[in-house]
Structure 1
Amino acid sequence: MLSNLIHFEFPLNERIRLLLRLEQLFLQIDFYYQGTSFWDARALVDALLEILTILARNDVKSELLKELDRTSVLLEKLSQNQHVDSSALSELQDKVNSVRQHLSTTKGKIGASIINQDFFQSISLRTPIAGGKFGFDLPWYQRWLLQADEQRKEDIDRWLESLSEIKLGIDLLMNMVRSSAVPEDVLAMAGFFQATLDQTRPYQLIRVSIDNALPVFAEISGGKHRFTVRFLSQSVEKRPIQVEEDIEFRLTKCLL
């Protein structure tokens, strides 16, 4: 019986890969936002700068809009199913359409008004240098970090508010993708599992869940036609090797 599960995910297209990266960075921000120290604020700014760097790519806005458009069409088709909770579906449609409207009416790149500020430009220039963002490099940044938490949060809240719609869109899309399929319990013989994918169905994400008590991790690889899961031993001192025992795990092939 599988319990206390941890999850490993593998995107099957670049759009989902993009959403996963942004989702993880926003989760980091959520975590560090709860802290009140100098180091919490510094880590939050680092994560925010990574988000802004990704959003500065020319294709990000169009890719997000395409996925939202595709999802909107699917939700509209679902609304014709009498077995669907119409109230919950309508609420979901409203949220998706709100994000679509916000992105489509936003001029230029998402987050451009933040990343173009001298504050972030200066920090960005020092980021490639290992240890390049200390007080003697950026004394004004150190002064900002040394403010009272309430003062820092005023700036942080303003920055995050401008990204709230994109964060909502990412959360909506990834929640729908993950809940789009029913998990199945399968067995990896001698730590190895391989399966083919129906080429007529555009799967988006492979999700592998294992008991946290197992001292192994899942290495997933694959593409549109097939995927492979290998379970390797967890060690920080030795190179991971594939385990010899059979591993029971929960597999979800996500397709929205």
Structure 2
Amino acid sequence: MIVYEYPFSERIRTYLRVERLLERLLDLQHRDSANDHHFALQTLFEMMDITSRADVRGDLLKDLDKQKSNLVAYKDNPNIDSSMLKNLLAQIETCHKQLSATPGKPGQSLNDSEWLMTLRGRMGIPAGTCEFDLPGYHDWLHSSVQQRQTQLTGWSSAFMPVYKALQLILRLLRDNSSPKTVSAPGGSFQQQLSQGRSFHLLRIEVPTNSGLIPEISGNRMLIAVRFMSADEQRRLQPVKDDVNFVISLCS
């Protein structure tokens, strides 16, 4: 299944963007080729950009506190697995401590590296990192795989407290839903949302290779989905047939 996610707030939108960047960064830095490590650095700089604009650390700390408060209320509930609850609270506490121990903006310490900052500026220029512009970077790309991976791991470690907290918060959010199969007559679907619950994320699942592409719009009161398909030039056309898909509203 292919999963499409739609956030209902700017905070969750930022979380999803940070998650995407960090997953890409970790994937690229564990590869061997110099080209992969070039794009790992590019992703590292994107992470620095997004965390410098948004208070990701502060928002995550607030969400960890909120989740802890919600879970503590279940401590005396006989229907709750106490060992699982204890483990979850321990994970929250660990993430909170690690994140609190990181002062300032995540990755802020990387600004102290003149080499990284020079490279960051040149990466904004098409082919701006050629050997005649940055011979030192050309040398780095030809250093050993192990040396490059070690340095990339060191640089990305500045974002690991954010990544661990983000993984936990998004897992709890995604798990707090009840997926159900619904139908979109003629490719269109609308649903009013209950005002008694606060939803933060919409997830839609469609079969892999189905060619179904959901265009999603909405807010915390109403969601609308229009299914599209792409022609050979990737131009989107509305689907006119009924579509069955899985929807999850996460709160």
The residue type paired with residue 136 of structure 1 is: F
- 1:78-227 correspondence runs (5 A): 78-227=74-223
Which residue number in structure 1 is paired with residue 55 of structure 2? 59
Three-state SS of the structure 2 residue aligned to 1:163 is helix
Which shows bigger deviation, 75-84 or 142-151? 75-84
Task: Provide the C-alpha distance between the structure 2 equivalents of 1:196 and 1:76, rounded to a whole number of angstroms.
Answer: 31
TM-score (norm 2): 0.94
Task: Provide the C-alpha distance between the structure 1 equivalents of 2:206 and 2:183, rounded to a whole number of angstroms.
Answer: 11
Over the aligned positions, Cα root-mean-square deviation in angstroms equals 1.6
Which residue number in structure 2 is paired with residue 10 of structure 1? 6
Does residue 231 (structure 1) correspond to residue 227 (structure 2)? The answer is yes
TM-score (norm 1): 0.92
Q: Deviations over 1:125-176 (max 9, x none)?
A: 1233233233332221221121111111221121233322211111111111
The residue type paired with residue 104 of structure 1 is: S
Which shows bigger deviation, 246-255 or 235-244? 235-244
Q: 1:91 to 1:129 in 2, by over 3 A?
A: same
Task: Provide the C-alpha distance between the structure 2 equivalents of 1:235 and 1:46, rounded to a whole number of angstroms.
Answer: 32
Which residue number in structure 1 is paired with residue 30 of structure 2? 34
User: 1:110: Cα distance to partner?
Assistant: 1.4
Three-state SS of the structure 2 residue aligned to 1:25 is helix
Which shows bigger deviation, 113-122 or 23-32? 113-122
Does residue 73 (structure 1) correspond to residue 73 (structure 2)? The answer is no
Task: Provide the C-alpha distance between the structure 2 equivalents of 1:95 and 1:137, rounded to a whole number of angstroms.
Answer: 46
Task: Provide the C-alpha distance between the structure 1 equivalents of 2:150 and 2:79, rounded to a whole number of angstroms.
Answer: 46
The residue type paired with residue 79 of structure 2 is: H
User: 1:252: Cα distance to partner?
Assistant: 0.2
Q: 1:115 to 1:72 in 2, by over 3 A?
A: farther
- Return 5+ residue gaps in structure 2 as ranges: none
The residue type paired with residue 186 of structure 1 is: V
Task: Provide the C-alpha distance between the structure 1 equivalents of 2:204 and 2:228, rounded to a whole number of angstroms.
Answer: 13
Three-state SS of the structure 2 residue aligned to 1:147 is coil
Task: Provide the C-alpha distance between the structure 2 equivalents of 1:240 and 1:220, rounded to a whole number of angstroms.
Answer: 14
Report how many aligned residue pairs link the two structures: 251
